[in-house]
Structure 1
Amino acid sequence: MQILLIRHGESKDDFLKEGYKGSTDLQLTKRGLEQVEKMSSYISKEFPPEFIWSSTLLRATQSTEILSNAVKCPVEYLIDLREMQKEESKLDFRLRAENILTAVRERSKHYKRVAIISHGGVITKIIDSFLQLPKEHDVWFHTDNTGIHLLEYKSSIRIIRFSNNTTHLN
């Protein structure tokens, strides 16, 4: 099974002060909508998912609606795909990502490819979980707006096909 991890487009949240944790629920900017249109066109041609899992935050749901319309597949919104919350510890955030990955794999096992549309921090923690990295470490997987990662479970191995692909923005 393949899992596309996709960050939402540019949002008004991107312009908030340093140290902001992503729980503010603001919409996509005009540029963000354009980014999502380009990403959706690229995904629909190159890597169409059969199902989409999405964060419930507005910038992600807007991105999801555009992709879903492009690829014509069903969507399920999961509150646990939201960004790290102010009261949440780093360990709890990582454990939430592990639970998300396990649930998505279990509930998507009859699909060949699914997409998760979420936020930079969640995507990093899902990749941490996919790679089975230690709970405490100093690695960050950067994801640009509408950046795409492709993870694959194949037999007994895990493959990262690509990371933070933004060729659709060129």
Structure 2
Amino acid sequence: MIELLVVRHGESQADLEDRHEGRADFELTPLGERQAGLAAAWIAKRYRPHEMIASPLKRAARTAEAIAQECKLTVAYDEKLTEWNNGLLAGMKREEAHRLYPLPASGRQPFDTLAESESEIQFRARAEAFLSELLFRHRSKPDLHRICIVSHGGMINMLFHSLLNLPFQTELSLATGDTGIHLWRIDRSRKRIVFTNAQEHLRS
């Protein structure tokens, strides 16, 4: 049986500056660092993982490092866990992005690569590739094996869609706040969402 403990990074500098983040590599804020520390202590006490995989972008890597230090693990980094590649929008103020790269009147389509960005289809495929490879690699684990994945809101949403084999066009989305934690359990063909977006560690 495999458990995926999926964690979003803490608050980043882009959040304070109202910038598009995506592939822009912003650091955690002091609050984000504190959030990561609180998440790490909560995870170590309640859901200590056996291994860790994270996006190499600074905000996710730093969050993962805090958890790894608390749980005495090392972090493996995987480029497939990075956030949506938003091309020319990365790091841009939202107001400026809206002016320079307005959405078409028909809305953004799944195949669009507006502003040299990754299309939604490509983004979903990347999540599918990561998840299928991970589950295949651990398919024969006889006992519980818990993997902590530290990533970004958009990618976590895509992983959720991939795990549940949701159709590409779906109205269902998964909310994840700063250091929000999800637990998904896979036991052969059975998949169970144990909890989503836990943030009780932030109330301590």
Aligned to 1:88: 118
RMSD: 1.4
Kindly provide the amino acid, as one letter, of the partner of residue 3 in structure 1.
L
TM-score normalised by L of structure 1: 0.94
Give the total of aligned pairs. 169
Aligned to 2:74: 74
Distance across 2 between alignment mates of 1:100 and 1:21? 21
Contact 1:150 1:163 (C-alpha < 8 Å) held by counterparts = yes
Distance across 1 between alignment mates of 2:134 and 2:188? 17
- Please state how far the C-alpha of 1:16 moved relative to its aligned partner: 4.0
Contact 2:14 2:21 (C-alpha < 8 Å) held by counterparts = no
Kindly provide the amino acid, as one letter, of the partner of residue 197 in structure 2.
N
Contact 2:12 2:32 (C-alpha < 8 Å) held by counterparts = yes
Distance across 2 between alignment mates of 1:139 and 1:57? 26
- Please state how far the C-alpha of 1:52 moved relative to its aligned partner: 0.4
Distance 1:121 1:112, change over 3 A: same
Kindly provide the amino acid, as one letter, of the partner of residue 123 in structure 2.
F
Kindly provide the amino acid, as one letter, of the partner of residue 172 in structure 2.
V
Contact 1:50 1:74 (C-alpha < 8 Å) held by counterparts = no
Kindly provide the amino acid, as one letter, of the partner of residue 4 in structure 1.
L
Kindly provide the amino acid, as one letter, of the partner of residue 157 in structure 2.
T
- Please state how far the C-alpha of 1:21 moved relative to its aligned partner: 4.8
Aligned to 1:154: 187
Q: Secondary structure at the match of 2:122?
A: helix
Aligned to 1:8: 9
Distance across 2 between alignment mates of 1:100 and 1:16? 31
Aligned to 2:25: 25
User: Which of residues 158, 162, 165 in structure 2 aligns to 1:125?
Assistant: 158
The answer for unaligned runs of 5 or more in structure 2 is 87-116
Distance across 2 between alignment mates of 1:162 and 1:129? 17
Deviations, residues 68-126 of structure 1 (Å, cap 9, x unaligned): 00001232100111100022100110111111111222334446100100000000000
The answer for unaligned runs of 5 or more in structure 1 is none
Q: Which stretch has the larger CA shift, 102-111 or 149-158?
A: 102-111
Distance 1:15 1:36, change over 3 A: same
Aligned to 1:37: 37
TM-score normalised by L of structure 2: 0.79
User: Which of residues 103, 113, 122 in structure 1 aligns to 2:133?
Assistant: 103
Contact 1:151 1:161 (C-alpha < 8 Å) held by counterparts = yes
Aligned to 1:138: 171
Kindly provide the amino acid, as one letter, of the partner of residue 99 in structure 1.
A
